[in-house]
Amino acid sequence: MKINAKEERPKIHFLVILTIIAAALILYLIFRAREAHPIAVCSITIAYFSAVVISLVAAFFRQIRFSLYSYNTVFYMGFSLFMLSVVITFVMVLRWLLKDPTLFGPDFVLYVLSDSAKNYMIVSFPFILLFSGGLCISNIALIRHEGRRFVNIIGIILSVLMLGGAILLYALTFFVTGSKTQVMIHDLLTNIYASVYLYFECMLIGTIVAGMIAALYKPEPDKDFLIILGCGIRKDGTPTPILRSRIDLALDFYRKQKETTGKELTFVTSGGQGPREVTTESSAMKRYLIEQGIPETQIIEEDRSTSTYENMMFSKEKIYAIDPEAKIAFSTSNYHVFRSGILSRKAKMRTVGMGARTKWYFWPNAAVREFVGLVVSRKVKQGLILGSIIVIYSLLTVLAYR
């Protein structure tokens, strides 16, 4: 796969128009048409959601060709899987209707759609169970090796929330009594809860897929500058194993590029000095590179940054002062590539990343932290999307109990 900035950024605005048309047609058939046939309503619904799935999958692949690092990539992948589950549900319903057309009325579509978030949670429960179990196992190993710090138990906390949330939904769904109004209120609250769970589950799945693709990507050997992102040093001022793996990956790329194309590149060691560090991360990386035979003239130090965003912003200043058209790559840990790429775009610097391997027990918990960081960093956008989903499920539930 090659990234090409000349590729057109995918746009799915037409899905809004398609949604309005499909919703208007389905609602007309349900509420206005005198003899609306349930098979026709079901077929239209299948056609609509199939078009949405195809559009989202196509947008996903166009997006990663345009840029590997985008929140849209997460959204396209996560929700295409959910939409696919809706298509499969309605295909099963259509099969039942073809055997017995009187089995459901035209308004059954509203009931199925209003329950789609709950159904997806139930269908995806094996994934939730396996993912949560694996996350707990890796966190236990992480705690044994790295100590009992709060950041090392985030995965366990997420596992408990995911499993507890799914079990709670099951209990809410299958244990309800009362009048029609009471049942409607119960279903309304349950569907809102399920829609929130659905949103974060889809975003988590999308983040995992996008993160894996970004981590496995191999940049083209034509780079002018290679940024190495800092991540802490030892008490004696030498790189930690994680930081050393990032430097070694950068060195490997440098040597392969030189061997393949003959093109030299300049390293940018990016990282400031933490409160308990004897020197800057940039200086520690520079010394390591020189020990590996890299001339000092091929190393630029960026020693002010205290976060990944500052890594990108301050490195960009150093690079663009030399060559605003430079081809740039960055080296970091595999779990950190995707979010680093997003932050490089935020800094208005077009780069591609490469990910150094980490120990098996470290990646899952770190990936969860990256997911939390992605969600928190775009609170307004996340809130608008989540709010829209809640409104849609609320309307579907009310219409189903019209």
Q: How far apart are CA 349 and CA 2, in angstroms?
A: 18
DSSP structural state of residue 336:
G
Domain boundaries, the chain: 14-217+377-400, 225-326
3-state secondary structure of 353: strand
Q: How far apart are CA 48 and CA 42, in angstroms?
A: 10
- pTM of the predicted structure, to 2 decimals: 0.85
Would you write out the chain's pLDDT as a tens digit for each of its 402 residues?
A: 555 444 556 777 788 899 999 989 888 888 876 567 888 889 999 999 999 999 999 999 988 888 889 888 999 999 999 999 999 999 999 999 898 888 887 788 888 999 999 989 888 888 888 888 888 888 888 888 777 777 678 888 888 988 998 888 888 776 677 788 888 888 899 999 999 999 999 988 898 888 899 999 999 999 999 999 998 888 888 999 999 999 999 999 999 999 999 999 999 999 999 887 889 999 999 999 999 999 999 999 999 999 999 999 999 999 999 999 999 999 999 989 998 999 999 999 989 999 999 888 777 777 787 778 777 777 888 888 899 999 999 999 998 887
- Give the class (CATH, top level) of 225-326: alpha beta
HSE-up of residue 106 (Cα within 13 Å, Cβ side): 16
Range 85-92 contact pairs with CB under 8 angstroms and sequence separation of 24 or more: 85/116, 85/119, 85/120, 85/123, 85/124, 86/49, 86/113, 86/116, 86/120, 87/46, 87/49, 87/50, 87/53, 89/116, 89/119, 90/42, 90/45, 90/46, 90/49, 91/46
